[in-house]
Amino acid sequence: MSIDLKPLGDRLIVRAIEEEQTTASGLVLPDTAKEKPQRGEVLAAGDGRWDDEGENRIPLDVAVGDVVLYSKYGGTEIKLDGEDLLVLRESDVLAKVAS
């Protein structure tokens, strides 16, 4: 999927990956029993914010296509073409899935 939004600075646009919420016994758990930090795919990434002299950008460690682990309560929800996405700062990302 390609989107027409370019995040500014150290921001990312992320689409949540719905984890299967089936327990060992086969029951589907209600929403409040889901784990907190969740996985998502990075759809767009900024170019990094400027350093204090305005000469270099601080590089991002996350790229488009990465799958990242982030806290569900960080960021700002946006709706794009009817889909719920999240705008995060890179500092809200805990880890990425090693490829």
Give the residues across from 88 on adjacent strands. Answer: 12
Per-residue binding letters, 18-57, with a second copy (x by CB under 8 A):
-----------------xxx------x--xx-xxxxxxxx
Q: Is 69 in the site for a second copy (CB under 8 A)?
A: yes
What is the Cα–Cα distance from 19 to 37, expressed in whole angstroms? 11
Would you give the end-to-end CA distance of the chain in angstroms?
19
Q: How many positions of this chain bind a second copy (CB under 8 A)?
A: 41
Binding residues for a second copy (CB under 8 A): 4-9, 11, 13, 35-37, 44, 47-48, 50-59, 61-62, 69, 71, 76-79, 87, 90-91, 93-98
